[in-house]
Chain A
Amino acid sequence: MAAQHPDARPSPAPAVGTARAVAPRMGRFAYFAFCAAVFVFLVAPILVIIPLSFNAEPYFTFTEGMLRFDPDAYSLRWYREIIENEAWTGSLVNSLVIGVSATALATVLGTLAALGLASPGVPARRVIMGILISPMVTPVIISAAGMFFFYSNLGLGQTHLGIILAHATLGVPFVVVTVTATLAAFDRNLTRAAASLGAGPWTTFRRVQLPLIAPGVISGALFAFAVSFDEVVVVLFMGGVEQRTIPRQMWSGIREQISPAILAVATFLIVFAALLLVVVAWLRRRAPG
Chain B
Amino acid sequence: MYGCHRVGAAAVLVAVAACGSGSDAPRSVTTVSWGGSYGRAVNEGANIPFTEETGIRVEVEDFNGGLAQIRAQVDIGEIHWDVVDLGVADAVRGCDEGLLERIDITSLPPGSDGTPAEEDFVADGRTECGVGNLYWSTVYAYNADNIPGEKPATMADFFDVEKFPGRRGMRRVPEVNLEFALIADGVPLDQVYATLDTPEGLDRAFAKLETISDEVIWWEAGAQPPQMLADGEVVMTTAYNGRIFNAQVLEDQPFVIVWDGQVLDVGQVSIVAGTPRLEAALQYLAFATSTESMVRIARRISYSPMRKSGMPLVTTHVVAGVEMEPHMPASPANAANALRYDWAWWVDHKDELNERFSAWLAR
Contact = CB atoms under 8 A, between A and B. Distances in A.
A and B from one assembly? Answer: yes
Q: How large is the interface on B (under 10, 10 to 19, 20 to 34, 35 or more residues)?
A: 20 to 34
Contacts of B22: 242
A108 B35 CA distance: 41
9 contacts: A101-B12, A101-B16, A108-B6, A112-B5, A152-B77, A157-B76, A160-B16, A256-B220, A257-B227
Contacts of A146: none
Nearest to B221: A256
Interface in A237-270: 240-243, 252, 255-258
A158 interface: yes
Interface stretch (B58-66, B116-124, B262-270): B58-66
A80 B85 CA distance: 31
A159 B17 contact: yes
A240 B16 CA distance: 16
A272 interface: no
Nearest to A206: B1
A65 interface: no
A280 interface: no
B199 interface: no
B16 A257 contact: no
Given A160-B20, A161-B20, A241-B60, A256 B224 contact: yes
A240 B223 CA distance: 21
A153 B78 CA distance: 9
Nearest to A202: B1
B276 interface: no
Contacts of B8: 104, 108
Contacts of A257: 36, 221, 223-224, 227
Given A149-B76, A158-B78, A255-B221, A105 B35 contact: no
Interface in B304-353: none
Contacts, number: 82
Nearest to A115: B2
B272 to A, nearest CB: 13
Interface in B1-28: 1-2, 5-6, 8-9, 12-13, 16-17, 19-22
Q: Which 4 residue pairs of A and B lie closest in terms of their CB atoms, listed nearest first?
A: A160-B20, A256-B221, A161-B17, A257-B223
A164 B59 contact: no
B68 to A, nearest CB: 13
B80 A161 contact: no
Interface in A69-94: none
Given A108-B9, A158-B78, 12 more contacts: A104-B9, A149-B76, A153-B76, A157-B78, A157-B80, A158-B80, A160-B16, A161-B13, A240-B80, A252-B62, A255-B221, A257-B36
A52 B19 CA distance: 38
Which of B1, B20, B76, B77 has the largest count of A CB atoms less than 10 A from its CB? B20
Nearest to B76: A152
Given A149-B76, A160-B21, A255 B227 contact: no
Contacts of A283: none
Contacts of B62: 252, 256
A97 interface: yes
A201 B2 CA distance: 11
Contacts of A158: 78, 80
Nearest to A97: B16
Contacts of B16: 97, 101, 160-161, 164
Contacts of B59: 241-242
A38 to B, nearest CB: 29
B224 A108 contact: no
Interface string B209-242: 0000000000011011001001100000000000
B195 interface: no
Given A256-B62, A257-B223, A159 B9 contact: no
